[in-house]
Structure 1
């Protein structure tokens, strides 16, 4: 899923505020260094700060919500130079839901993991049920960057793809795929976690 390049909303910039803007960046760095999981300010704090500094509460809500999404803006690795597909065909089952990693697509600069989910929802309207998403991390000898690249489904079937960089080893016994399910908004874990590995 290619991200559109950012375009500044205006060509104007008042250089008199440059030092203040740099200080904002400095404070954000301090905040990040102090806590890698700061959470979200309480409603009471948002209301207090909005009144004290003459901001709209909803504006501050959006500002602090964006602080939680820094990873979303990490530069994207676009797979290129297709090499081959490696069949995985390993599954995990829980509560009549079947999770299967079907294959891994190998590229020169990345790998793409394909996750299929099959379930039966008797008397449940697919379009009105609560939807969930997955996060993937890799356990291996290298540090891997993982991002979800897309997903969708219909009826009782869903598919997700994940881009991993650098490229995973061809030998699937050299790493483990660790999936964690969460719901939006606020990325709440559902408790569903499973590991797919090349070991028996």
Structure 2
């Protein structure tokens, strides 16, 4: 069993590399065929592929500790009917917390498109791990907090804060919407 388990780990690594760490989820028709071919339960395979969908969900979570200070950022972008802002950065000894807001004007039924849940991922380069920690909103407003580790420098001049929108929290499909804040 040890050799077989090692081979499974090797295949997982290969799957991760080939997919650039975003393997997605196989079509149900493939899973159905594989279940028959390999004499496995279809729901079992669905469960396995659900777990394999994105390794990022299993990365150890860094909780900010040792608050040091607040740093104002106050950058905005307007795109179509949306007003995007990065307001501030809370500095901790081991991490930073970035606040990202989305606002729009609510007008009758037209707002239904705007009210759909938005899933944005923050990217700050290979050095930093970013995860959406909390978020919520109301009619015309959404607010999200992202934990960044290791902590960003107090002076973030020259950095790009890139927010990419996805159709779901699993990052399966990008909407192509990218909001970039260049910190001057």
TM-score, length-scaled by structure 2: 0.86
Q: What residue in structure 2 maps to residue 153 of structure 1?
A: 137
Distance in 2 (alpha carbons) for counterparts of 1:162 and 1:184? 17
Secondary structure of the residue aligned to 1:168 is: coil
Where does structure 2 lack aligned partners over 5 or more consecutive residues? none
User: In structure 1, which of residues 134, 137, 140 is the aligned counterpart of residue 120 of structure 2?
Assistant: 134
Whole-angstrom CA distance in 1 between matches of 2:179 and 2:18:
31
SS, match of residue 172 in structure 1: coil
Q: How much has 1:76 moved relative to structure 2?
A: 1.1
Write the deviation string for residues 147-181 of structure 1: whole angstroms up to 9, x where unpaired. Answer: 11111111111100001111112112141111111
Q: Which runs of 5+ in 1 are unaligned?
A: 1-16
1:10-53 CA distance string (max 9 Å, x none): xxxxxxx5554343223222333444244433444222211012
The alpha-carbon distance between structure 1 residues 44 and 186, as it changes in their structure 2 partners (threshold 3 A), is same
What secondary structure does 2:157 align onto? helix
Distance 1:198 1:155 in 2: 29
How many residues end up aligned between the 2 structures? 180
Instruction: Say if 2:79 is the partner of 1:82.
Output: no
Alpha carbons of structure 1 residues 84 and 118: separation in structure 2 relative to 1, 3 Å: same
Query: Residue 66 in 1 paired to residue 51 in 2?
Result: yes
Find 1:94's aligned residue among 54, 79, 99: 79
RMSD of equivalent CA atoms: 2.3
- What is the deviation of 1:71? 0.7
Task: Using the TM superposition, name which of 156-165 and 171-180 deviates more.
Answer: 171-180
- Contact kept, 8 Å, 2:165 with 2:175, in 1: the verdict is yes
Give the conservation status (yes or no) of the 8 Å contact 2:54–2:170: no
* Greater mean deviation of Cα atoms: 34-43 or 77-86: 34-43
- Give the aligned partner of residue 33 of structure 2: 48
Q: How does the TM-score come out when normalised to structure 1?
A: 0.80
